[in-house]
Chain A
Amino acid sequence: MSKQPVLEVKNLKQYFTSGYGKNKVVVKAVDDISFNIYKGETFGLVGESGCGKTTTGRTIIRLYEPTDGEVYFNGKLISGKLTKEEKREVTRGIQMIFQDPIASLNPRMTVKEIIGEGLKINKLCDSEEHMMELIYNMLETVGLTPEHATRYPHEFSGGQRQRIGIARALITNPDLVIADEPISALDVSIQAQVLNLLNKLKEQLGLTVLFIAHDLSVVKYFSDTIGVMYRGKILELADADELYKNPIHPYTKSLLSAIPLPDPNYERYRKRIYYDPSIHNYDVEEPKLVEIKPGHFIYASESEIHEYKKNI
């Protein structure tokens, strides 16, 4: 692996506290996770709600101050204090596509203003004409027309709004796009449209994407590498096909066995695997993320690794 990772996350921790004194509660939303995303690659994060996948994305883009750990972007540390110029470079280089296409667009701004804002802030255009040219090009790239530029978000359908959200993220020519459940708020028939668009853009522009979702079939379709999160930890990390063909961790197995497939015969005889976290005894041995096969990482203690290795 001589390639330089675009994003390097090292032992990232994000704890939230509430209450004081006796009532103090610490929630370990993200608890010591590490992963790399290489150029042109799509990294999928899956897990149930509350497992910390969204928090991970938000911490990377500096919406939260991480409790501990480092985030490197293009080889530079970005998780600590930054100068104004560095901050600008980071916010230009990492862009985010949000889940809710209604809440994430300002209702009082026209599409032109929404998309152009990033250009102005980052001084990526020299004149008004240049800006409009870039905006029109971007609108066409995401499947909208230049006439849409002067309209307001409420005039668009959910799928079109998500396209605006994508255009806004891509206008600054980012090195990394964080897509946080970009299709889960859309209708079934529209989901495929947006997925195809993202796939097309990924190829066309060579995007590097951190794809966060709970729908495993979609993540499998869209990602090259997948990390499975559970209670703030990455339990298993592997190539998409490898993970689906040879899941090792019991939690991954249970997740995979729970996906409903549009195939009645399969559904009738499906066997569900239930995951019981108490099967792990981590009092004696510290669990670690270990490379069990080339490119296939798993979070387990030493004796468990031994056990898993027998079954490979």
Chain B
Amino acid sequence: MRSRALLFACAFALAARAQSLSHKVTLPADSPVTLMAVDWGGTDATARGGAFFVDVRASLSLRNSSQKRVRAITFAVLSQEVTPGGKGSVSVPSLDVAPGDVFPVGIDLRLLRSIGGGAAVEVKLDGVLFDDLSFFGPNSLQSRRTMTVWELEARRDRQYFKKILETAGGKGLQDAMLDSLSRQADRSWPGMQMVRGRATVTDPERELSFAFLEMPDAPIQATNGIARISGSEARAPRIEIRNRSERPIRYLEIGWIVKDQQGREFLAASLPAEVNLAPGRSGQVAQDAALRFPERTSIQAMTGFVSTVGFTDGSYWIPSRASLNDVRLRRVVTPSPEEQRLTQIYQKKGLNGLIEELKKF
């Protein structure tokens, strides 16, 4: 009887241990942002079946303790129990935080962990981007590149909407907002799986060529490309590219659009590549990855377009608004975070609120 009671108590203790959760936010001593407060309310680990959900809900209150305006920030979310893929991040783009100001960052993630593995979560600063495009942080998640591209898109889009306001007035700006909202609502997306490395293929395969959207101002020209198609899976894309600029290129991203049997097009994925491409040189980028679409999807055509180019001097090229006005890109490419933020402001505060916001930049 005593041994049974002891075992019963042990079971409770183990269950209780499985639900305990430790969490912390890590900022370096000379971080340009200071943690003023953190509220972990709502963060817990709940055992369900053979696993438990770790809901990470944190509200961080940060102060910009640098002398520059903060434009974006990224935190890595790590679990101490390392899994092959257990790394995430939370980024907040389109900020405009003046020195000394306080701003919030919300973190809302759900991790599913196996019972017995423990639950410890660390939120660690990966990078801060400033208005002069300088950067602070370990950059272990390449957040510098990502946030720099977002900031360039933000500047491009704000300029675009300001120009509309200048040339077509409030009515023109309103039409542009409604157009953007309509595109955001219309965007369809069937869901997808992505597998890295060689996937096992049992169905017959065929080669399908990429068509490429012409973007005359892009420093990279994609000239040729194929992927292997098997049922609703596309894998092993290979694309030939040429550097038609006068500067050496070290990074590029190609958007991969897929068309199904019903003629619906959607942006399936991006194909990033670190390259070393001198002016005038050509190269080939290849990826050992597979995209799987729902079983009812039959891939009929693929289109590629150059979406980002990084030069060795650290600068980037992104498509202009004129290029993005291509009929197909308008349907498939998501508006930038800044454009989405501006449409939110328009929805909440109306046209005048939007105009006031645009005047700040």
A binds B: no
Give B contacts to A, CB under 8 Å: none
Residues of A that sit less than 8 Å from B by CB: none
